Amino acid sequence: MTKIIDGKKISQEIKDELKAKVLSLKAEGKKIPCLAVIQVGNDPASTVYVGNKKKACEYIGIGSKSFELKEETTQDELIKLIDELNNDDEVTGILVQLPVPKHIDEDTIIRRISPQKDVDGFHPMSVGALLIGEDGFLSCTPQGVIQLLKRSNISIEGKECVVIGRSNIVGKPMAVLLLRENGTVTVCHSKTANLKEVCKRADILVVAIGKPKMINSEYVKEGACVIDVGIHRMENNKLCGDVDYDDVAPHTSYITPVPGGVGPMTIAMLMSNCLKDA
Ligand code: NDP
């Protein structure tokens, strides 16, 4: 019997736990975290993401500061704002909504955020800490996948884990986190030979390729757990993932739907990062 992993429910549980933590911080008179969110330009998808992040801050009871900069903002102006926020003691987390306009270099911006306030976990210091198993901010989406597995009582230790995708924000940190949980991890990408055969070995298959419905049942071992990170809006305006859900689901023990699987976890883990050192 296939079990559908309910990311909406699990993310709500996490947000409620964080809300309770904030209440106890308040009761103890401790400092309440504050997230600064910077958006450059007005890409509609980014506006929705930024709005959801602000709402989540409100829900769990932490502070948020919002900076909506115009599209023409120069890289130097953005850097100046980041520097100010790095030095602002009230602000404990800084997030620049990606993508930034083309005239701004994303890597320069990511590196400018203080690693102590890097709640997205994208700074090379955060990534390096993850790799060598030191304390640091973890990238939100892969961290959300680990929570989905743990809170669904799916053990990772000793399992064959296959990650499709090697991006810096999903695939690579995902592989390292599964390794940290004692999975046996294989990472696939666009140059992987025999992708189907490699995927068929997986007890846990994490798909982050950015190709709508590419993974069908031919890639999946009977009884595997399939986590679909992909998110795409189809022509009929509905959302789908990188996995062909209807074809794959009957062959799995556990599967995440799109929407309502990995997606809601990303913001929950961002909130968790905001409270990491509180
Ligand atoms: P990227 O485009 O940065 O990376 C895609 C990866 O997939 C690359 O490593 C690429 O390989 C690999 N790939 C592409 N085509 C194939 C193929 N035919 N066979 C095998 N591997 C392939 O994407 P992201 O990692 O940023 O995102 C992946 C998906 O997750 C997207 O759908 C995105 O929208 C979604 N996403 C969802 C989030 C959420 O909160 N739910 C958050 C972030 C992303 P190579 O390196 O060789 O090019």
Q: Give the Cα separation of 174 and 142 in Å (integer).
A: 5
Q: Give the Cα separation of 168 and 152 in Å (integer).
A: 26
CB count in 10 Å sphere of residue 158: 11
Ligand 1 centroid vs 214 CA: distance in angstroms? 11
- Give yes or no for a contact between 154 and 3, defined as CB atoms under 8 angstroms apart: no
Q: State which of 50, 120, 141, 189 you would mutate to test the pocket of ligand 1, scoring each by most atoms of that ligand within 8 A of its C-beta.
A: 189
C-alpha closest to that of 227 among 194, 189, 265: 265
Q: Give the Cα separation of 147 and 41 in Å (integer).
A: 33
Strand-pairing partners, residue 204, are 161, 225
- Give yes or no for a contact between 138 and 104, defined as CB atoms under 8 angstroms apart: no
- Whether 230 lines ligand 1, by a CB cut-off of 6 Å, is yes
pLDDT of residue 101: 98
Q: How does residue 180 score in pLDDT terms, banded at 50, 70 and 90?
A: very high
Ligand 1 centroid vs 104 CA: distance in angstroms? 22
Q: Give the Cα separation of 109 and 30 in Å (integer).
A: 31
Q: How does residue 30 score in pLDDT terms, banded at 50, 70 and 90?
A: very high
The answer to whether residue 196 is catalytic is no
| End-to-end Cα distance, the chain | 41
Q: Where are the alpha helices (DSSP H) in 152-262?
A: 171-180, 195-200, 245-248
Summarize pLDDT for 115-153 with one digit per residue, the tens: 999 999 999 999 999 999 999 999 999 999 999 999 999
**Average pLDDT of span 33-48:** 96
- Whether 231 lines ligand 1, by a CB cut-off of 6 Å, is yes
Q: Whose CA is nearest to atom 5 of ligand 1?
A: 209
Ligand 1 centroid vs 209 CA: distance in angstroms? 3
Summarize pLDDT for 160-178 with one digit per residue, the tens: 999 999 999 999 999 999 9
Q: Which residues contact 20 (CB under 8 A, 6 or more apart)?
A: none
From residue 266, alpha-carbon distances to 16, 85, 278 in Å are 15, 23, 20
pLDDT of residue 236: 94
The tokens describing 22, both together, are 């904030």
- Point out the catalytic residue in the list 120, 203, 242, 244: 120
Q: What percent of the chain is modeled with pLDDT above 90?
A: 100
- Whether 268 lines ligand 1, by a CB cut-off of 6 Å, is no
- Whether 208 lines ligand 1, by a CB cut-off of 6 Å, is yes
- Whether 263 lines ligand 1, by a CB cut-off of 6 Å, is yes
Q: Give the Cα separation of 148 and 141 in Å (integer).
A: 11
Q: How does residue 6 score in pLDDT terms, banded at 50, 70 and 90?
A: very high
- Whether 176 lines ligand 1, by a CB cut-off of 6 Å, is no
Summarize pLDDT for 210-268 with one digit per residue, the tens: 999 999 999 999 999 999 999 999 999 999 999 999 999 999 999 999 999 999 999 99
Q: Which amino acid is at 39?
A: Q
- Whether 265 lines ligand 1, by a CB cut-off of 6 Å, is no
The tokens describing 236, both together, are 């009929």
Q: Whose CA is nearest to atom 31 of ligand 1?
A: 210
- Point out the catalytic residue in the list 6, 15, 39, 97: 97
Q: Which amino acid is at 119?
A: V
The tokens describing 230, both together, are 């992909």
The answer to whether residue 97 is catalytic is yes
**Average pLDDT of span 194-212:** 98
The answer to whether residue 53 is catalytic is yes
